[in-house]
């Protein structure tokens, strides 16, 4: 809404990693170049890749018209999620400085059990909130923006101007309503299930030799799993398990992961040597699989 304000983004933000399915350090470098070409915004990247945004990162930086974006949870570093006290402190900082606070809450419902609070209470800390229908809800496509009337109207204008408007979103809307009806109540159970799975796998001494979780304990219904070995070797082992037991351990290895120091100036920084990661979502289907089956596969 303000043409003079700056946009404060965490290095994990999807506004940087808009095509985040191409992973690895090469993608990180590419994304950093491209974010400078986002129209009409001055982008400031703040914070460290491995941790959620902290109030200290913003201290004495904010001015009226600025916008702080918090991705909740942060997909690119394993679903990490700001603590409630952190959110309240960032809300206080933005309000005092005349800045605004936007939630990229594509997976907000997957982070809700981490807080144990109603989504209304979480959203009330933000000036605007974005929620996706095709992540944890499993919808076909589309998203929801909740904001003031004036911001919604401006966003609609810009969506049209930038080529994002469709003549109708009826199929997406019908599908989103149905997914909301089916899945709204399932997120707490999924989060508990992921906690249980991570605890069980971490407790296995044989597994801990080659497998670790980022973050070490889930902060949402999504987590990253790092494995020791080259992509070829790991994929061969995966195919062996699939043939022997009919169990598929992951959909896709995503490469070596982002360097933890991505936000710093050292572009050559690498993630831990000799590791690859995959993303694990505790969706409705995974939540039906007994923990013993996961352990058998591994």
Residues engaged in binding a copy of itself (CB under 8 A): 18-19, 34, 37-40, 134, 140-142, 157, 159-172
**Nearer Cβ to a copy of itself, position 21 or 209?**
21
Cα–Cα distance measured from residue 247 to residue 290, given in angstroms and rounded to the nearest whole number: 12
Cα–Cα distance measured from residue 5 to residue 42, given in angstroms and rounded to the nearest whole number: 7
We find the least distance from the C-beta atom of residue 18 to a copy of itself, in angstroms, to be 5
**Nearer Cβ to a copy of itself, position 141 or 291?**
141
**Nearer Cβ to a copy of itself, position 29 or 228?**
29
Cα–Cα distance measured from residue 13 to residue 267, given in angstroms and rounded to the nearest whole number: 18
We find the least distance from the C-beta atom of residue 173 to a copy of itself, in angstroms, to be 11
Contact predicate 211/227, CB 8 Å? yes
We find the least distance from the C-beta atom of residue 153 to a copy of itself, in angstroms, to be 11
How do the residues of the chain divide into helix, strand and coil, expressed in percent and rounded to 5?
Answer: 40, 15, 45
**Two tokens at 21?**
């399915």
**Two tokens at 67?**
């916008």
Contact predicate 192/242, CB 8 Å? no
**Nearer Cβ to a copy of itself, position 24 or 297?**
24
**Nearer Cβ to a copy of itself, position 142 or 284?**
142
We find the least distance from the C-beta atom of residue 132 to a copy of itself, in angstroms, to be 8
Q: What is the DSSP letter of 80?
A: B
Residue ranges of alpha helices (H) inside 36-147 are: 55-58, 84-97, 108-115, 119-123
We find the least distance from the C-beta atom of residue 113 to a copy of itself, in angstroms, to be 24
């Amino acid at each position: 809404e303000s043409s003079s304000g700056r946009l404060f983004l965490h290095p994990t933000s999807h506004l940087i990693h808009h095509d985040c399915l191409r992973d690895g350090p090469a993608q990180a470098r590419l994304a950093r170049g491209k974010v400078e070409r986002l129209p009409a915004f001055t982008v400031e990247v703040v914070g460290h890749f491995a941790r959620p945004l902290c109030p200290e990162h913003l201290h004495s930086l904010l001015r009226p018209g600025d916008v702080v974006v918090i991705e909740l949870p942060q997909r690119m570093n394993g679903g990490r999620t700001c603590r409630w006290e952190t959110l309240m402190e960032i809300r206080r900082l933005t309000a005092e400085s005349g800045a605004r606070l936007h939630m990229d809450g594509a997976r907000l419902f997957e982070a809700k059990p981490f807080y144990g609070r109603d989504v209304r209470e979480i959203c009330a800390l933000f000036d605007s909130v974005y929620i996706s229908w095709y992540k944890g809800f499993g919808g076909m496509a589309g998203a929801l923006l909740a904001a003031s009337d004036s911001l919604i109207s401006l966003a609609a204008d810009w969506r049209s101007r930038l080529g994002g408007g469709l003549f109708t979103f009826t199929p997406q809307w019908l599908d989103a309503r149905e997914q909301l009806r089916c899945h709204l109540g399932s997120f707490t159970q999924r989060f508990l299930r992921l906690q249980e799975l991570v605890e069980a796998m971490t407790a296995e001494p044989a597994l801990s030799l080659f497998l670790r979780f980022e973050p070490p304990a889930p902060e949402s219904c999504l987590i990253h799993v790092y494995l020791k070995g080259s992509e070829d070797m790991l994929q061969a082992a995966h195919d062996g398990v699939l043939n022997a037991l009919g169990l598929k351990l992951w959909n896709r290895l995503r490469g070596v992961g982002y360097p933890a120091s991505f936000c710093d100036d050292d572009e050559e920084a690498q993630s831990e040597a000799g590791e690859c990661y995959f993303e694990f979502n505790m969706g409705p289907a995974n939540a039906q699989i007994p923990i013993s089956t996961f352990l058998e596969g591994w």
